[in-house]
Amino acid sequence: MRKNSVKFEKRGSKAAVISFIIIVAISLVIFGALYGTDKYRRSVHPLMYTEYVEKYSDEYSLDKYLVYSFILTESGFDPNSESYLGARGLMQIMPETFEWIRYRLGEDGNPDITYDLMYDAEENIRYGCYLLSYLCELFPTLTEVAAAYHAGAGSVEAWLLDESCTENGRLTSIPNSDTAHYVDKITNAYSTYLELYSEK
């Protein structure tokens, strides 16, 4: 009886050690997967040009993570990016939008402020943040702001007058599929930036 009892205790002890090792191994695998996923998500949602983003998001009362979301979606943080429509730089400023912002900022008489400056990271972010701040004052939700950044404020204002696109005065359906896809990308990027970087 005694011998059997000792054998049972040894078997139980061995099983406990094996169970502990398995639990530790599984925990390490899960931790590695989560850490790897977090590291990957940060690599595809980077914080770049932080000096300029923080400077002009503060100046124009914007959430810096919103600015990062637009830069990521618009250019992937490439200051030399140019669209087939001619939009330039980090926040993809169109020529006519540049002229409008330049006028609004009282810089239209300055010969040093030209469209070529939209390849300059700081100037592009300055102009892009001004545009975002204007749209944030004009529209109450991120959906409308992002749609206006992509399709123009006039398009969003027209959609808001269409009852098939709205509910309680808010834009709920976007008739333009490209703009709808763009809004989804901005929304997802912003949500990810907040999740990864904002203070808990």
**In this predicted structure, what is the pLDDT of residue 118?**
98
Q: How far apart are CA 148 and CA 135, in angstroms?
A: 7
Classify the C-alpha dihedral 166-141-66-126 as positive or negative.
Answer: positive
Residues 97-155: tens digit of each pLDDT: 999 999 999 999 999 999 999 999 999 999 999 999 999 999 999 999 999 999 999 99
Q: How far apart are CA 148 and CA 183, in angstroms?
A: 9
**In this predicted structure, what is the pLDDT of residue 199?**
72
Band of pLDDT at residue 5, cut at 50, 70 and 90: low
Residues 38-88: tens digit of each pLDDT: 889 999 999 999 999 999 999 999 999 999 999 999 999 999 999 999 999
Residues 149-172: tens digit of each pLDDT: 999 999 999 999 999 999 998 999
Q: How far apart are CA 162 and CA 169, in angstroms?
A: 10
State both tokens at 118: 């939209």
State both tokens at 28: 């390490």
State both tokens at 47: 């914080």
Q: How far apart are CA 185 and CA 107, in angstroms?
A: 32
